[in-house]
Structure 1
Amino acid sequence: MAAQELNEAQLARRDWMSLLAKAPAAALARRWGGLGLAPEFDWLRAPEIGAVMVRGRAGGTGAAFNLGEMTVTRCALRLAGGDVGHAVVQGRDRDKARVAALVDALMQGAHAAAVRRDLLEPLRAEIRTQAEARAARAAATKVEFFTMVRGED
């Protein structure tokens, strides 16, 4: 589905699912613990570990090619209220997948504002701060090369 065909709710869900998948497990667990929520749920698909094929494109626009496999953990659950949450996270972390699926389900219900305010936005800010610090460390090692013109034509 092309991005222009997605509605606002789908784009918002894509955004928080991406954030949950990319978040460090320790940061997600810490933020989740701070919420104090323990919703009851039933597994639709218990956390299972598998592999997905990662595809790439030369220069971002060339023909697609298989880059290699990546280990992922996926799960799906249903809250007592009926909201369904899904998660696919990199690696073999069943607990991170469970928490991500719970957050996904809660974001579709009455707790969405609190979860966004107390978990997603602080997590996004923490990840952004870490990325900026990493970029600053990398920029400190940048070497500028230049060529001096010798006056000859």
Structure 2
Amino acid sequence: MTAPNIDRRNWMSVLAKSAPARLSALIPDLPAHSLLRPAEVGAVMVRGRMGGTGAAFNLGEMTITRCSLRLASGEVGHAWVQGRDRDHATRAAVVDALMQSDRAPEIAAAVVAPLAAEAASTRLARASKAAATKVDFFTMVRGEDQ
């Protein structure tokens, strides 16, 4: 897999997981574009594995919204986001297209990097909150050891 594909995978993940209101605040004005596939709501089957290594099984369906568009400059952007927010899918597709243009460094610094930093801090806060409740049973004193 080439480096540009890995980079695109990362920014697509950040855009899909971002809060719709935050993405809207970071990119309020959309550039001229034409819709190849207007934002449409659908469902996908989510698969899971027991313990992360077991045989895959169908866990259930999840609602998603997808959108494909072309900027006036010719770049094509795609997006798939969880939920029914058509505006979120459209904005994510616009950012995807802009990230493939000569404006990529500017968009990465202004939109993708702040969203990625916010997601990382949210993950860290959630992990530290969960770690505070961890019990290490090997270091607890049992009643007969006293």
TM, length-normalised to structure 2: 0.90
Equivalence for 1:107: 99
2:111 pairs with 1:116: no
Equivalence for 1:57: 49
- Output the aligned Cα RMSD: 1.6
Equivalence for 2:19: 24
- Please tell me the residue identity of whatever aligns with 1:123: L
Q: Secondary structure at the match of 1:73?
A: strand
Q: Give, in whole Å, the separation in 2 of the partners of 1:131 and 1:73.
A: 24
Equivalence for 1:8: 3
Deviates further, 75-84 or 131-140: 131-140
Deviates further, 17-26 or 134-143: 134-143
Q: Give, in whole Å, the separation in 2 of the partners of 1:111 and 1:7.
A: 21
Give deviations 1:30-76, integer Å, cap 9, x for gaps: 2223xxx5310000000000000001112212211101000000010
2:126 pairs with 1:143: no
Return the match for 1:90 from 82, 87, 93: 82
Report the CA distance between 1:7 and its aligned residue: 0.8
Q: Give, in whole Å, the separation in 2 of the partners of 1:135 and 1:20.
A: 21
Query: Could you list the runs of 4 or more consecutive aligned residues of structure 1 that deviate by over 6 angstroms after TM superposition?
Result: none
Identity of aligned residues (%): 55
TM, length-normalised to structure 1: 0.86
Unpaired segments ≥5 residues, structure 1: 1-5
Q: How many residues align?
A: 143
Q: Is the 8 A contact 2:30 2:94 kept in 1?
A: no
Unpaired segments ≥5 residues, structure 2: none
Q: Give, in whole Å, the separation in 2 of the partners of 1:124 and 1:17.
A: 11
Q: Secondary structure at the match of 1:132?
A: helix
Deviates further, 118-127 or 132-141: 132-141
Q: Give, in whole Å, the separation in 2 of the partners of 1:26 and 1:129.
A: 18
Q: Give, in whole Å, the separation in 2 of the partners of 1:133 and 1:14.
A: 24
